[in-house]
Amino acid sequence: MNKDFRGEGLPAINQTVDERVLVEAAQKDVRRFADLYELYFYRVYAYVSTRVKNREESEDITSEVFHRALIKIKTFEWRDVPFSAWLFRIAANSIVDHWRKIRHQENASASDLENAQVSDADIERQAAIFQLVESLPEDQRQVVHLRFVEQKTIREIAQQIRRSEGAVKQLQFRALKKLRTQMEGADA
């Protein structure tokens, strides 16, 4: 993983957290899988969402990835690749399965996906932004979710949260400015 693209909110791997310790703990006691989930959720989601069309598919496939990983965690063996590579392999297979099932693209394969033009740095950057949204002030976070997830207009959001349209635009501006600034800080 390229640490240059890690935002403040995204837990570092192999730095503040010992990935290997977490994996071995989860292999001994599957309840500890929750720690791995926290570390990798946004990275897996980012990996998936850059390769499929919409949020619903991204969420379905991300769910599939973690369910598969939980079932298979005891079979994971260290082979000089990061644990994330194992998760991304499961993700790639899950995406291909999804394509075959939904779109009947029988010729798709996991290796095609891994050749896609999405770098590790892009995954880290996107995961960091997702994580940083969690740390925004409540009102800014709410506006970001309503605008981007529910795709409501400024007017609709203003009515829902009982603020003026100008105030909602300012909240949106401040939220994106903060995300941009933090990402630029991480990039520096």
Q: Exactly one of 22, 62, 140, 158 binds another protein (CB under 8 A); which one?
A: 62
Q: Nearest-CA neighbor of 176 among 148, 150, 155?
A: 148
Residue choice 71, 81, 85, 116 for contact with another protein (CB under 8 A): 71
Burial (Cβ within 10 Å: 0-12, 13-18, ≥19) of residue 117:
exposed
Q: Which stretch binds another protein (CB under 8 A): 11-19, 58-66, 86-94, 95-103?
A: 58-66
Residues 6+ apart with CB under 8 A from 181: none
Total residues contacting another protein by CB under 8 A comes to: 47
Does 148 participate in binding another protein (rule CB under 8 A)? yes
- Binder among 33, 40, 47, 83 for another protein (CB under 8 A): 33
What CA–CA distance (Å, rounded) separates 110 from 184? 32
The interface mask with another protein, positions 74-113, x = CB under 8 A, is ----------------------------------------
**Which C-beta is closer to another protein: that of 89 or that of 152?**
152
Block residue for tokens 């941009």 = 180
Contact in structure between 54 and 67 (CB atoms under 8 Å) = no
* By the rule CB under 8 A, 160 interacts with another protein: no
Please state, in angstroms and rounded to a whole number, the distance separating the CA atoms of residues 152 and 144: 10
The residue assigned the tokens 């403040």 is 8
Q: Give the span between the Cα atoms of 39 and 84, in whole angstroms.
A: 10
Look up residue 162 and give its DSSP letter.
Answer: T
Judged by CB under 8 A, the stretch of 15-23, 84-92, 93-101, 171-179 that binds another protein is 171-179
Smallest gap, in angstroms, from Cβ of residue 120 to another protein?
A: 15
Contact of 32 with 25, CB cutoff 8 Å = yes
Place of tokens 């292999």: 27
Q: Which stretch binds another protein (CB under 8 A): 83-91, 94-102, 110-118, 173-181?
A: 173-181
The site for another protein (CB under 8 A) is made up of 29-31, 33-34, 37-38, 41-42, 45-46, 49-50, 55, 58-59, 62-63, 66-67, 70-71, 125-126, 129-130, 133-134, 141, 144-145, 147-149, 151, 154, 166, 169-170, 172-173, 176-177, 179-180, 183-184
